[in-house]
Chains A and B, each alone.
Chain A
Amino acid sequence: MSSKTKKPADEWLAEKMSGQVDFEERRLGPGDEFHVQYMRTLTNSDIIFRFIVTPSYEMGDVQAFKNYIASFPGTVQPKDMEQLMEYVLKGYVVITIESECYLFEAVKTETSGIGEAINEAIVQGPRDALSENIELNINLIRRRYQSSALKIEMLTVGNVSKTTVAILYDADRVDRQVLDEMREKIGGVKVDILQSAGELEKYITTQKFRVFPTMVVTERPDRVVFNIAEGKVAVLMNTTGFAILAPTIFTDFFTAMDDKIQVPLVGWFLKVIRYIGLFMTLTLPGFYVTFASYNPEILKVQISLLIAGSRAAVPYPSFMEVFLMLLMMEFLTEASLRLPKAIGPTATTVGGLILGQAATQAGLVSNIMIILVSAVAISNFIIPLSMMGYTVRVIKYIIVLFAITFGLVGMVVSVVGLILYLSGMRSFGRPYLKMTLLEIKSKGERRNG
């Protein structure tokens, strides 16, 4: 390549990198025969010292050193200047020997290692979470899915960030349509910076306005493996500890990895509990408004009087009370989420005490409302995947709005509307609201979504 360009590669590179603080340039060997250039922050100095610096003085012979460098499996010879630059920025060392250019792999990776899954904690079963290094993640998945059918395709997304994105699938089981769509969509992403799986998920969904997540973003390698085996496509990204799974159906968001480990009866029980929790967290605030202001005849007389009694001191209408308490609860949740662990408990204590105890004593909210709000919050936390949890948190306000304006009729309409909306949704052309797992069909009899 050096023959094609006017300037030798090393000089060209030195010129380009002249302003960089961490660009290093050395001449090695007894007679300074070897010109070495690299980025200090991206390379592993230990490797450079052991495999380049020491041998260069010990060997002495130029030809022998050239062969030695070329013998490393990671060593490449750049085709042009751009490739040279790309590799340098990846953490390769440029060694120029007699105007011949070699790229020696000395990539330093700073990783957080394999941590424990925090967001999707489970009782039994594997605790590993995906790390922020794609190689390590692929390693984690390969270890759990030892099949030659597991195919990995690498892509680069992001003009500036150059994030490596890997598409993983089981070639025997994958839905080809979904795979093609996924490839196309990821290939079409035009952004400068791509840093998290959530962002990528946002870029590859076609709908502009979404209420429900149509792709699972998970941090658990076992969930990734489980879904790949089901014929789904997984997308891993460098620099993030999360993977995207598609296509997704509604039930996927209500499946914890625990369900597989438990006795079937217990597994089903847990699933049913989650749906009850979903229903409760969605409808309880709305029902409160309905019962307290529109249709008290639905409840037993004792409960009606109980609500009426506890509301007797409350100065404003029921929906104000509901909105106030729900908002306070959201604040509490958000606050305890973002606070450092050391002060986190303080927020919950103060919030719980003041909101729960004092507010009722002061007559600002009714006792029943406090019970209701805590029930809503707790049943919201039952949803295993936080993305769905967030969505549900928002949707309950819509249902409350309907309840405020139309009472029980509004409740019915909003729940029916929600189901209609969900039934109309598609994830990669597949129906979203399907209450059974995706079945794997042979290529011939596949339906179009």
Chain B
Amino acid sequence: MRKGICCLIAIVLLVTLTGCQFKDIDKRSFVLAIGVDRPEDPNQRDQYEVTLKMAIPEGDPTKRSQEAVIITEIAKSVPEAIRLIKSKIDKEPDFSHCKVMVFGESFARDNIVSMTDWTARRRDIQLIMYVAVGKPSAKEVVNMQTKSERLPGNALILSLGTEGTESPFITTIYSFDLHRRVNERGMDPLMPVVEAKKPDMLVIDKVALFDKKKMVSILSPDETRMLNLLRTRNLRTSFHIEAEGQKIDYNLESSRPKYRIKTGKNGKAVIAYKLSGKAMIETNEEGAKMDGLRMKEASKTANKRWEEDSMKLLKKVQSLGVDPFGWGLRYTSRNWNNNTELKQWQQLYPEAEFQVKANVKIQYSGMIR
């Protein structure tokens, strides 16, 4: 008897765990990308313009003519806009496969916090969603239907992640990472910038830097690549150098950034980077024979270029007053006293100095050591 009651209670408790109610997959329309803008109409500047790209699966899966349904709605808040969209479509929008969220440039320059909060709170939006800044607006980026795309929104998903193209100019940022960067002290958000280029192309080669709330700057493609080199390991890229009159392109096979925050002589913080890498010559324009000496020369030039470029970038980042690398977090974690470490860093950072030591080894195929 008691056993039976226990079983019954267990089952009743289980029912509450089910979460999403029983709804067949063909009664849902999967939202694959969300775009958020500020409306162009100046009277509605404080409202939200939400664009949803939804996949409507066709009856015959072999045809692959999967059409996208794009609905845009303006409302006072994002949830409100979504409720309004729900009444425009026959199937229940399902956010569980939403993989991309695009912030319109105008929106990003204003305040992104409300959106990062919303995505983190909603249970059905996965935190592995990619985030990006859309140019000229999120609506146009989301609307863009590239030719290579067989699944609605797939072009965005593939290019923003590392699943498809692996461009050195694309910075992959996930929603959880963005949320963390917004909330964590000593670390600032950054997002790739997606440009819609008519008629059917998406260009992603820049990165937008944010202070805690809004976008402060967009880096150039070269700066973006340098940023990625300083942020990630084994960046797949190539660099062009001109050493002693010969033009060489080298392909990076492995790379590794390392940094330490030291205290300098005059009490200033010194952020010392060490960049190491292995590279292979990809083109040699003059066709000159490579030997050990030229190789060393090429490596030296490459090192110099890295050091100069990264120095410029780091200085720029510092002058913007943002911290996409998380130096502040590193500093506070090494110098904590539960009280003043963050303040210390805030005082130190604008005055901080940088050091970069690059060590890239260039080789060429067929070289015998």
| B126 cross-chain contacts in A, Cβ below 8 A | 297
Known contacts: A294-B20, A301-B99, A407-B20. The answer to whether A308 contacts B28 by CB under 8 A is yes
**Which of A296, A317, A407 touches B28 (beta carbons < 8 Å)?**
A296
| B124 cross-chain contacts in A, Cβ below 8 A | 297
A291 x B20 contact (CB < 8 A): no
Shortest Cβ distance from residue A314 to the other chain B in the assembled complex, whole angstroms:
7
A308 x B25 contact (CB < 8 A): yes
A406 x B14 contact (CB < 8 A): yes
B25 x A307 contact (CB < 8 A): yes
B96 contacts chain A at the CB level, 8 A cutoff = yes
B306 contacts chain A at the CB level, 8 A cutoff = no
A292 contacts chain B at the CB level, 8 A cutoff = yes
B15 x A304 contact (CB < 8 A): no
B32 x A301 contact (CB < 8 A): yes
B200 contacts chain A at the CB level, 8 A cutoff = no
Chain B binding site: helix, strand, loop or mixed by DSSP? loop
> Residues of B with Cβ closer than 8 Å to A?
14-15, 17-20, 22-26, 28, 30, 32, 55, 57-61, 66, 94, 96-97, 99, 124, 126, 151, 157
A312 x B58 contact (CB < 8 A): yes
Closest to B17 in A: A409
| A312 cross-chain contacts in B, Cβ below 8 A | 26, 57-59
| B57 cross-chain contacts in A, Cβ below 8 A | 305-306, 308-309, 312
Distance of A314 Cα from B57 Cα, bound (Å): 13
B96 x A296 contact (CB < 8 A): yes
The winner among B24, B30, B32 for most chain A CB atoms within 10 A is B24
**Which of A291, A293, A409, A413 touches B22 (beta carbons < 8 Å)?**
A293
Closest to A367 in B: B61
Contact with B along A309-321 (1 / 0, CB 8 A): 1111110011000
**CB pairs A–B below 8 angstroms (8 shown):** A294-B20, A301-B99, A305-B57, A305-B61, A305-B66, A311-B26, A406-B15, A413-B14
| B24 cross-chain contacts in A, Cβ below 8 A | 292-293, 311, 317-318
Distance of A305 Cα from B151 Cα, bound (Å): 9
Shortest Cβ distance from residue A287 to the other chain B in the assembled complex, whole angstroms:
13
A295 contacts chain B at the CB level, 8 A cutoff = yes
**Which of A292, A301, A309 touches B97 (beta carbons < 8 Å)?**
A301
Add 13 more A-B contacts to A301-B99, A312-B26, A404-B22 (CB < 8 A): A292-B24, A294-B20, A294-B22, A296-B25, A296-B96, A297-B126, A309-B66, A318-B25, A407-B20, A409-B17, A409-B18, A409-B19, A413-B14
| A307 cross-chain contacts in B, Cβ below 8 A | 25
**Which of A304, A305, A407 touches B18 (beta carbons < 8 Å)?**
A407
| B151 cross-chain contacts in A, Cβ below 8 A | 301-302, 305
Known contacts: A308-B57, A312-B58, A312-B59. The answer to whether A295 contacts B20 by CB under 8 A is yes
Shortest Cβ distance from residue B17 to the other chain A in the assembled complex, whole angstroms:
5
| B17 cross-chain contacts in A, Cβ below 8 A | 406, 409
Known contacts: A296-B28, A296-B97, A406-B15. The answer to whether A306 contacts B61 by CB under 8 A is yes
Distance of A297 Cα from B20 Cα, bound (Å): 11
A99 contacts chain B at the CB level, 8 A cutoff = no
Distance of A128 Cα from B127 Cα, bound (Å): 61
B25 x A410 contact (CB < 8 A): no
Known contacts: A293-B24, A301-B97. The answer to whether A409 contacts B61 by CB under 8 A is no
| A309 cross-chain contacts in B, Cβ below 8 A | 57-61, 66
Q: Which of A166-189 contact B (CB under 8 A)?
A: none
B55 x A305 contact (CB < 8 A): yes
Distance of A413 Cα from B157 Cα, bound (Å): 34
A346 contacts chain B at the CB level, 8 A cutoff = no
A304 x B25 contact (CB < 8 A): yes
B14 x A410 contact (CB < 8 A): yes
| A305 cross-chain contacts in B, Cβ below 8 A | 30, 55, 57, 61, 66, 151
Distance of A294 Cα from B25 Cα, bound (Å): 8
**Which of B18, B26, B60, B157 touches A308 (beta carbons < 8 Å)?**
B26
| B23 cross-chain contacts in A, Cβ below 8 A | 293
| A314 cross-chain contacts in B, Cβ below 8 A | 26
Shortest Cβ distance from residue A399 to the other chain B in the assembled complex, whole angstroms:
14
Closest to B21 in A: A294
The winner among B61, B94, B96 for most chain A CB atoms within 10 A is B61
B28 x A313 contact (CB < 8 A): no
A297 x B59 contact (CB < 8 A): no
| A405 cross-chain contacts in B, Cβ below 8 A | 15, 18
